[in-house]
Every structure is written in C-alpha cells, then in structure tokens.
Amino acid sequence: MVVLDYGSGNLRSAVRAVERAGAAVTLTSDLDLAMEADGLLVPGVGAYAACMRGLRAIRGERVIARRLSGGRPVLGICVGMQILFERGIEHGVETEGCGEWPGVVERIQAPIVPHMGWNTVDVPVGTRLFAGIEDERFYFVHSYAVRDWTLVTNDRTPDSHQPRVTWAEHGGDRFVAAAENGPLSATQFHPEKSGDAGAALLRNWVNSLV
C-alpha cells in the first residue's frame, strides 16, 4: 500500500503503524504508485487550507477520486478524513475540499477545545474497521469536525456501500469519528497513535485490501 506524501502529517508514525499491521508500505507522492497500490492512506495534520493546498499541488485529489471510481480502497486519517468532505471552515475562512462526501468541517462546540485525548466511540452495526474493538478508546486531537452526516442513500444502495458512521461525543457536541462507505474509509482520530486498539483497526483495514 501507499501512504500519500503531500507534505502533511507525522508520516513516519503512519508508515510504521501500517507496517506493523502487516502491510508492505511505500511513502510517496508518485500518483502512478498511489493509483496502483492495493490501499491508499491519506494522512493529514494541521490546517485544512494548508492540507488542501498540499494535496492539490500533487493533484492528490484526482488520484483519490479515480481510485474511488474504480472501487479501490482509500483511508483518510484526521485532516486526511476532513478533506474528503465538501468544505472546511477554519477561523472564518472557507476552503473547498475533495467533496467525496457532502458535509462541512466546522469548529467543535464544546467548553474545552481542542478535543484532545482518548475517547470512546459509538460504533454502527456492520462495521468492518471496528470489528473486535468496538469498546476501545482511540486518540483524538482536533478542533474541527463533521457534525452532520448528510450522504443520501436509499434501500437500493448495495449493502457493501451503505455508509457505516461511527460517532464521538465531547463536551456535549457530537461528530463523526469514522466513516466506512464502500471503498472509502476514514477516521477523525489517529489509529497510528491509538496503541493496540489503533493497530487492530489498521489491521482490519489492511486485511480488507484485496
């Protein structure tokens, strides 16, 4: 698999964590390699606008879209998840995202922000990412989140593509902690920093790659 290098994130941790999950990993910004890989991991930390700039600079948003058109797995982590949505609003500045999912990334409404530390998650029926680790805590660190899941599906949507959305709560606010939707998966928390629980989640994802 490939960890996409577009100048964002603690890449070393991401690479080591998926290696530990049993994957052969290449860290690269080469789009052919990113396209050919069995799985593409999109990390991301810092500001939404900076991440999108970095991603667009290597045309990363195209390789994400093309992989998904072909049903090929992509996993976004932290801001790497947020940029999959339509747009992000930070400090009043609106930035267009990849738009693979509808929805907006906005500031968490809680007394203490950033949401920093190990939190429990509310896992949906049918999850593959959280199989066997439904009751674990995961490490979050973020001030912005997706507070409404608005993707339209109906009962003719194949079961494999029915979105499975995992939620987290902090200070009375509720937001998306993870989403699984056909080939596209993402976590707001950092599995690569979430100890054994995070390792198990990455293993679940790596094992799902054909």
Partner 1 sequence: MSLAVRVIPCLDVDAGRVVKGINFKELRDAGDPVELARTYDAEGADELTFLDISASHEGRATTLEIVSATAEQVFIPLTVGGGIRSVEDVDRMLRAGADKIAVNTAAIHRPELVAEIADRFGNQVLVLSVDARRAPGTDSGFEVTTHGGRKSAGLDAIAWAVQAAELGSGEILLNAMDADGTEDGFDLELIEAVRREVSIPVIASGGAGAAEHFPPAVEAGADAVLAATIFHFGKVRIGDVKQSLGDAGYPVR
Residues with catalytic roles: 78, 190, 192
Q: Is 117 in the site for partner 1 (CB under 8 A)?
A: yes
Q: How many helices (H) and strands (E) does the chain have?
A: 6, 13
Q: Is 143 in the site for partner 1 (CB under 8 A)?
A: yes
Q: Is 203 in the site for partner 1 (CB under 8 A)?
A: no
Binds partner 1 by CB under 8 A, chosen from 69, 70, 92, 111: 111
Q: Is 193 in the site for partner 1 (CB under 8 A)?
A: yes
DSSP category for residue 100: S
Cβ closest to partner 1, residue 65 vs residue 110: 110
Shortest separation between residue 14's beta carbon and partner 1, angstroms: 11
b vs e for 179-199, b when ≥16 Cβ sit within 10 Å of the residue's Cβ?
Answer: bbbebbbbbbbbbbbbeebbb
Q: Is 22 in the site for partner 1 (CB under 8 A)?
A: no
Binding mask 51-90 for partner 1 (x = CB under 8 A): ----------------------------------------
Burial bucket for residue 147 (CB in 10 Å: 0-12, 13-18, 19+): middle
Shortest separation between residue 186's beta carbon and partner 1, angstroms: 18
Asked if residues 78 and 45 have their Cβ atoms less than 8 Å apart, the reply is: yes
Q: Is 135 in the site for partner 1 (CB under 8 A)?
A: no
Structure token pair of residue 31: 């789009």
Structure token pair of residue 107: 């500031």
Bond before 163 cis per omega within 30 degrees: no
> What distance in Å separates the CA atoms of residue 170 and residue 71, rounded to the nearest whole number?
33
Q: Supply φ then ψ for residue 195, to 5 degrees.
A: 55, -140
Q: Is 165 in the site for partner 1 (CB under 8 A)?
A: no
Contacts to partner 1 from residues 23-52, by CB under 8 A: 45-47
Cβ closest to partner 1, residue 86 vs residue 169: 169
Binding part of the chain for partner 1, among 67-75, 93-101, 151-159, 192-200 by CB under 8 A, reads 192-200
β-sheet bridge partners, residue 74 = 40, 184
Query: Which spans of this chain sit near partner 1 (rule: CB under 8 A)?
Result: 10, 12-13, 16-17, 20, 45-47, 111-122, 137, 139, 141-143, 168-170, 190, 192-196, 198-199
